[in-house]
Structure 1
Amino acid sequence: MSGPPEALRSVVVACPCGEVYELKPEYAGRLLECPACGRPLRAGPAPGAAPRAPAPDVDPAFDRDVFLLNQRVFRIASEYEIWSAEGQPILFVHRPTYPVRTAVAYVLATVATLVALAWLTRLAHTAPPGAGVVLALLAYPLAALTFIVVSMSLRPLRHVTVYRDDSRRAAVLRVRQDQRFAFLTRTYTVLTPSGEPLARLRKTYLHNVVRKRWYVEAPDGQLLGMAIEDSMILSLLRRVLGTFFGLLRTNFVLVYPTEEVFGEFNRKFTLLDRYVLDLSLDRERTFDRRVALALGVMLDTGERR
């Protein structure tokens, strides 16, 4: 005996929190919310949707919805192995650290700070009484500001390169750090190996006070999407308690400018740093997977999680 027609079959949705729902066929393809945990869920493919064929104009390494990022440990540089959902290595990410040049920058910043502090102290002693008190109060804050500005201005830029494998012979993507010193906003430009800009990643430090947020913009400045810390309540707890022994891991949801969720970037609870970039909700693949992977890498190395 044959089963019900395809159009009349119910849609079964399983949430990562463990809940399973059986929905009416008319919900197929719709974006819903799990009543138990609030996680956004896509109720299966839209009616009549066929399996997606490989995209002919997309590098096979990027032609997927799930990327597993495994950070290599005991390395000076930031390095990640990128795996497919099946656990096969597909890409390799390298971001240099430059410890010697960074140490030199800190030494020079310390010298500049001591010079500024000595000059301000001498100026406070020779100034009229009222002005001298003000200069004495401002001496240490200005010296600290001198250290921050000089050290950040002299530190080398840390660009990110995505390679075909860990031989680091064939680059497939680059992420350029645009500024050495950034006061309120820092940006990174996602580039093809030939230097063609794909997108700009922007974060504003003021947002980090409450809830971290990254913006993804097209080369012409048009907003393409955002990565937002997963929960306002959890973000506030992280500001007070930190990661709390790994229980308050910083995760992000990826949203379109309309704030519709199309993906997530989650850190797994393991001894090693492992992350999952899941773009399964972007079924039409309107968001460039190259940009998404660059964003995922920066959500870790750019946030120093």
Structure 2
Amino acid sequence: MERPTYPVRTLFAYFVALIASLTAARWILGPFPEDGGGGLLVLVGFPLVAFVFLVVSMSLRPRRHVTIYRDDSRRETLLRVLQNQRVAVLTRTYTVVTPSGEPLATLRKTYLHNIVRKRWYVATPGGEPIAMAIEDSIVLSLLRRVLGVFLGFLRTNFLLVRGSEEAVLGEFNRKFTLFDRYVLDLSADPDRAFDRRVALALGVMLDTGERR
């Protein structure tokens, strides 16, 4: 699996975003008023400056597509996961494609769900729901928000469920080991209703996209 980070281009994007946000701060805030309203001006202006930094930096950063290879030799591409947007404030989507470019599915992550319980949605290229990956427990997910991974005892695991029916298709679990080890278990789907290629791509994004 390969997901380039583009450190030089990313640093350049942050540098330009910093210049843009400082310029915006100078224009929005300007000189502080003498009547004591400077605090209110900062309170209103700071979120706007932060928004400028976020939008500019995300607009200039390259999209990080994921390439999944058949083995460690990296000679044969198995799948690609294409990042659809550079700027994604609330929702980010990805397209899973074959080496020839044929779309297999779309993956969608809504950042607001991270507040309570992380989830990823899987749909056909036409938008029909296929499956959803959701944190294994609402109680554990809330504990993770407060305590973090807590020395590995609260590591993030996901259930894979079928569309809106929430019939369990499998699990994606992080093992309690010194190094990152993950198990994609689809034994609950013996009929292979969930395309194994899409499941593999989803597992990769649950790892790289969640910074677990």
TM-score by length of 2: 0.94
> Which stretch has the larger CA shift, 264-273 or 135-144?
135-144
Deviation at 1:132, TM superposition (A): 6.9
Q: Which runs of 4+ in 1 moved over 3 A?
A: 123-126, 129-136
Whole-Å Cα distance in 1 between the matches of residues 77 and 53 of structure 2?
36
Which runs of no fewer than 5 residues in structure 2 stay unpaired?
none
Question: Is the aligned partner of 1:287 residue 2:198?
Answer: no
The 3-state SS of whatever aligns with 1:237 is helix
- Number of matched pairs: 211
Deviation at 1:108, TM superposition (A): 1.0
2:178 aligns with 271
Report the residue type matching 2:100 in the other structure.
Answer: S
Describe the superposition over 1:194-246 as per-residue Cα deviations: whole angstroms up to 9, x where unpaired. 11100000011111100001100001100001001000000000000111111
| Correspondence for 1:161 among 49, 58, 67 | 67
Whole-Å Cα distance in 2 between the matches of residues 251 and 285 of structure 1?
21
Relative to its length, the structure with more helix (as a share) is 2
2:17 aligns with 109
Question: Is the aligned partner of 1:219 residue 2:131?
Answer: no
| Correspondence for 2:106 among 192, 200, 204 | 200
How large is the RMSD of aligned CA atoms in angstroms? Answer: 1.7
The 3-state SS of whatever aligns with 1:199 is strand
Structure exhibiting the larger radius of gyration computed from Cα positions: 1
1:140-179 → structure 2 map (5 Å cutoff): 140-179=46-85
Identical-pair percentage: 69
Whole-Å Cα distance in 2 between the matches of residues 294 and 249 of structure 1?
20
Deviation at 1:124, TM superposition (A): 5.7
Deviation at 1:123, TM superposition (A): 6.5
> Which stretch has the larger CA shift, 166-175 or 189-198?
166-175
Report the residue type matching 1:235 in the other structure.
Answer: S
| Correspondence for 2:135 among 218, 221, 229 | 229
Describe the superposition over 1:105-128 as per-residue Cα deviations: whole angstroms up to 9, x where unpaired. 1111111111111111216649xx
1:296 aligns with 203
Which runs of no fewer than 5 residues in structure 1 stay unpaired?
1-92
